[in-house]
Amino acid sequence: MRFHRLGKVLVVALAMCAARASAFLDPPYITPVNPMAGEMISVNIYGGVCDAIIGLPGYPQVTRQGNDIRILFFSVHYDNLELCNLGIGTAITSIGAFPTGSYTLEVERRYMTVFGTWHQETLGVIPFTVSGSQAQQPVEASTLNVVGIVGLLLALTSAAYFVLRRRV
């Protein structure tokens, strides 16, 4: 019975001493949220502390097959809390401008583990639709020409005349 109680006390004591995980990369998102045809689209990844996206020569690698787009980032990931001194921020990378249509963006990262092997994981899959160009079309609005302005002034003057005449 003593070992049972000792085990519970030991679990609680070790849980209090455990360090919190500090590594994080939030799910990626694109900007602008509703892209238009020909507008530059960027992918954004917020993260830091023990995880970071790093710009190395050859990265990011953007590939496209039809309406499927894939971007591969090089990153670092630390499991040791003593090495977790990376800043917190948002990595923003342009992926290009696309014509009207529906697309799928797969965001992946690659990093080297402490054992010297490569690890690759998918951070997110973002479906998005590119709308047609939003060229400003002229809108017809009614306006008054000189005759309309003179008529409006005459109507306001006569209305004011009748209102003032009733009061007197």
**Mean pLDDT for the stretch of residues 19-27:** 68
CA gap 111, 57 in Å, rounded: 14
Query: Are the C-beta atoms of 128 and 35 separated by less than 8 Å?
Result: yes
| Residue range 126-162, pLDDT digits in tens | 999 998 865 555 667 677 788 888 888 888 898 888 8
pLDDT over threshold 80, residue 123: yes
List 69's β-bridge partners, or say none. 64, 105
* Predicted pLDDT at 15: 46
pTM across the whole model: 0.64
State both tokens at 8: 């519970």
Pairwise pLDDT comparison (87 vs 15), residue with the higher score: 87
Report strand pairing: 40-49 vs 86-97: antiparallel
Query: SS3 of 4, please?
Result: helix
| Residue range 35-61, pLDDT digits in tens | 998 899 999 999 888 888 888 888 899
| Residue range 63-118, pLDDT digits in tens | 999 999 999 999 988 887 887 888 888 999 999 999 999 999 999 999 988 888 89
Pairwise pLDDT comparison (86 vs 8), residue with the higher score: 86
pLDDT over threshold 60, residue 27: yes
Element counts in the chain: helices (H) and strands (E): 2, 9
pLDDT over threshold 70, residue 7: no
Helix or strand (DSSP H, E) at 71:
strand 68-77
